[in-house]
Structure 1
C-alpha cells in the first residue's frame, strides 16, 4: 500500500497557496486529461543524495521533471536540496540531473541553477507538464538506510492534486534497479506537488 506523505507541508514553513503564476503545464495529456509527466524513471545514487542532505540548512529534497536537451525523447529528473522556508540551496552547481546508466552505475550531472531552469523549461517546450515534488529529509533518510539500498528510484505517480512523484529504495543488480520492498518502509509518494500546492513562486526554478 502506497503512503502519501505531506512532504512539502512539512518542509515549507511559508503558507501554501494555489499556483497563481504562469501555466506550468503543456498541452499534451493522458486519457484522464492530466498533463503527461514526460519521464518514466530516474535514479539517484545514495552518495549524491546524502551529499545534498548533509548540508546543515537542508530539510528536504525537491525533484523536478526535466529534459536535458530538446533532442531527447524521454525526460528525466533534477534534484535539489531545500531549506525550511522552501528556498532551494542553489549556490554553486548543487542541482543534480540523472543522465542515465553507465557500466551499471547511475550517472549524476551537476548543474547550475540556470542550467536546471533550462532543463525544466525544455519539458514544457516539448509539451509536457512541468512540476515538482518535495520530500522531507527524515523520509528520504529512512529510505536510504533500508538494508541494501544503493539508490532511490523516482517515478511519476498520481495524487488528488494531479501529477506527483514516488520515490523508492532500490539496489542495483546487473545494471538495473531492483525494488527492496513495498509499502511505507520502502517508498514514499508526495501528496502535495507543485502545482497546485505551492509556496512563493520565487522558490521554484520552473517558475522563474
Structure 2
C-alpha cells in the first residue's frame, strides 16, 4: 500500500509539469514560423474599411484567433497616408478573419487591446509577427476585377516575412484564386519598414 502511495506521489509532479508545459508552450503554426496559413476578406468588408475618405492603405497583421489556433489568421485595419490607423474603438475597429460561409467572410470586430492580444498569441509561440500594407487603389483593383469578390492573404518570404494578396472568388465555404489581375506582394513589411512613426503599428 505504501509503495503505491509513493509511486503516485512521484507521478504527480510529472503530470503537473506536463500540464504546465502545455500552457506555456503554445502549439506551433501549421505554416511554421511565418505564423499563419492564410486569411480572406470579402469585398463588402474591404469597402467598409475603405469608406473613410482618409483611407490610403489597408494593413494586415498575422494573428491567432486563440493561443492554440495553429491555422492562424489575419487582422485588417484601414490607415491614413501617414500610417496612422483609422480606429475609434466603437464604429471603427480591427477586423479579424474567422471563416468563409455562404460566399462571404465572417469576421470578428476587435478593439485595439483585443487585436494586440491576438497578435501576442503569435509572439508567444515564438513565431514571426509582421504587418503588410496594400494601397487602397491596389485593393480596389483586385476586388472590382471580373469574377472576384474578395482577397486572399498568404505569407511571403522576402529578406523578412511579408504577405501576398491575391484576388479570389468566394463561394460556399472556400475561396478560389483568380489568375487575373496578378497577386501583389507588400515589399515593405513591418518590422523593417515601419514608416516615420513605428508606434502606429500595434505589432511593435
| Structure 1 residues without counterparts, runs of 5 or longer | 1-27, 30-34
| Deviation of the 1:201 alpha carbon | 2.3
Q: Give the length in aligned residue pairs.
A: 172
Return 5+ residue gaps in structure 2 as ranges.
1-27
Larger gyration radius, structure 1 or structure 2 = 2
Partner of 1:143: helix, strand, or coil?
A: helix
Could you tell me how far apart the structure 2 residues matched to 1:74 and 1:174 are? 19
d(CA) in 2 for partners of 1:174, 1:53: 25
Q: 1:88-103, aligned counterparts within 5 Å?
A: 88-92=85-89, 93-103=92-102
Question: 2:100, 2:172 within 8 Å by CA — same for their partners in 1?
Answer: no
Match of 1:111 in 2: 110
User: More deviation in 91-100 or 132-141?
Assistant: 91-100
How far, CA to CA, are the matches of 1:136 and 1:106 in structure 2?
Answer: 21
Superposed, 1:33-44 pairs within 5 Å as: 36-44=33-41
For residue 149 of structure 1, what is the aligned residue in structure 2? 148
Deviations 1:91-139 (A, max 9, x none): 1242000012334532111111111111111110011111000011111
Query: What TM-score results when the alignment is normalised by the length of structure 2?
Result: 0.79
Query: What is the TM-score normalised by the length of structure 1?
Result: 0.77
Q: Confirm whether residue 57 of structure 1 aligns to residue 61 of structure 2.
A: no
Counterparts of 1:86 and 1:104, CA distance in 2 = 31
SS of equivalent to 1:202: helix
Distance 1:166 1:125, change over 3 A: same
